[in-house]
Amino acid sequence: MTVFDDSALDDAEALAGADAIVRRLAEAGSRVRRETADADEPIDRLRGLPRPRALVAAGTEARFLRAILEPVCPVPLVAWPHHGLPGWVGALDLVVVMASDVAPPSVVATVHEAVRRGAMLLIACPASSLVAEHAAGSSTILLPTATADPFAAAVVALAALHRMDLGPAVDPEAVAATMDDVARDCSPFADVTENPAKDLALCLADTQPLVWGGSTLAARASRRVAEALRAASGRAALAADADALLPIVEATTARDPFADPFTDEQSADRRPCLVLLDDGNSAPLVRADHGRLVAAAERADVRSSVVQHDRGSEVERYAALLQTGMFAAVYLSVGLGRTSEV
């Protein structure tokens, strides 16, 4: 079993192996600013367009868009992760696609189908990409992107949808500033005692991560964080709701305080670690689930760690939770000596 080296989290040489990943995370805010600035002109042209019959979100971050839009969107909305489009989509509908310059064939096919059916197409992608070529048409609105950052493209798309009165107001500068704050707090130069991402990595060092988010957006962030933790550690990491996680926590056997971690066979079994992503949602059911999970973890002597960000808009809070989890995944890989595999 790989042993986590906690000293690596403050070791410049060990951290250097993750420099490219950390740098990309740290520059997330600047990518949001750049994409927003580049899309200002096409977004301005959206004001006053007729309201579509329905909205289909496809491609990267489609489910994130759905989570933001569903509570307020005045028209029916669906996130479509499949090849092509639903059979009912036609000229009265809006298809929103976010894609990079290396979009998978399924996304290219979706764009091609939207153009063929005459649907209005709002697409965030590089202007010179293959998917942009397939998107060319009289009903296509291109939001040019350049950073290959799916989240930055999603923020641009949300700003465009707000201009069309289909979504909530989004302040890209505030989102970028929040991501800058997380980058500063989670910097590799910040000591482990004051760095929330390094602290989370230490909590997860020799455990099996269980990640929970109570609100719709926090749950979305939990799935993304679990994916990153799996890649960082090579271990299983589960993101699920409280009802799915509680049996796992409650079934954990009591820790033997006299066990020798180097000789006792049972100590090789990784205990779960509960990670709670808290975006400040005050809904009674969310707070009740949070309380049930914390209480169960205390009874079973299971470690738990709360990542909290309750300030700003929903998008800002989501970005903060996600970025903190991503930084923690990088530091987990550093401690496990797996930076070359992430």
Per residue in 47-62, pLDDT (tens digit) is 888 999 999 999 888 9
pLDDT at 341: 58
DSSP E strand stretches across 184-270 = 207-213, 238-239
Predicted confidence at residue 2, as pLDDT, reads 74
Predicted confidence at residue 321, as pLDDT, reads 98
Instruction: Count the Cβ atoms, other than its own, within 10 Å of residue 96.
Output: 31
Q: What's the pLDDT at 267?
A: 44
Residue 3, φ and ψ in degrees, nearest 5: -95, 135
On whether residue 24 sits in a domain, the answer given is: no
Domain count, the chain: 2
- Write the CB contacts of 125 (distance below 8 Å, at least 6 apart in sequence): 97, 98, 99, 100, 101, 103, 131, 132, 135, 142, 143, 144, 145, 153
Q: Are 210 and 238 in contact (CB under 8 A)?
A: yes
- The tens digit of pLDDT for each residue in 294-338 reads 999 999 999 999 999 999 999 999 999 999 999 999 999 999 998
Range of the domain at 64: 29-174
CA distance 64 to 72: 14
pLDDT at 340: 59
Whether 202 is covered by a domain: the verdict is yes
Using the structure block, give the residue that is written with the tokens 């060990």.
14
pLDDT band at 134 (very low <50, low <70, confident <90, very high): confident
214 in the same domain as 88: no
Specify the pTM. Answer: 0.91
Assign residue 309 the CATH number of its domain.
Answer: 3.40.50.10490
Within 13 Å, how many C-alpha atoms sit on residue 1's CB side? 16
From the list 275, 283, 279, 277, the residue with the least C-alpha distance to 311 is 279
**Per-residue confidence band for 148, with pLDDT thresholds at 50, 70 and 90:** confident
CB atoms within 10 A of CB 163: 18
The confidence band for 265, taking pLDDT boundaries of 50, 70 and 90, is very low
Give the residue from 174, 197, 219 where a domain finishes: 174
Last residue of one domain, picked from the residues 133, 149, 174: 174
195-217 confidence digits (pLDDT tens):
999 999 999 999 999 999 999 99
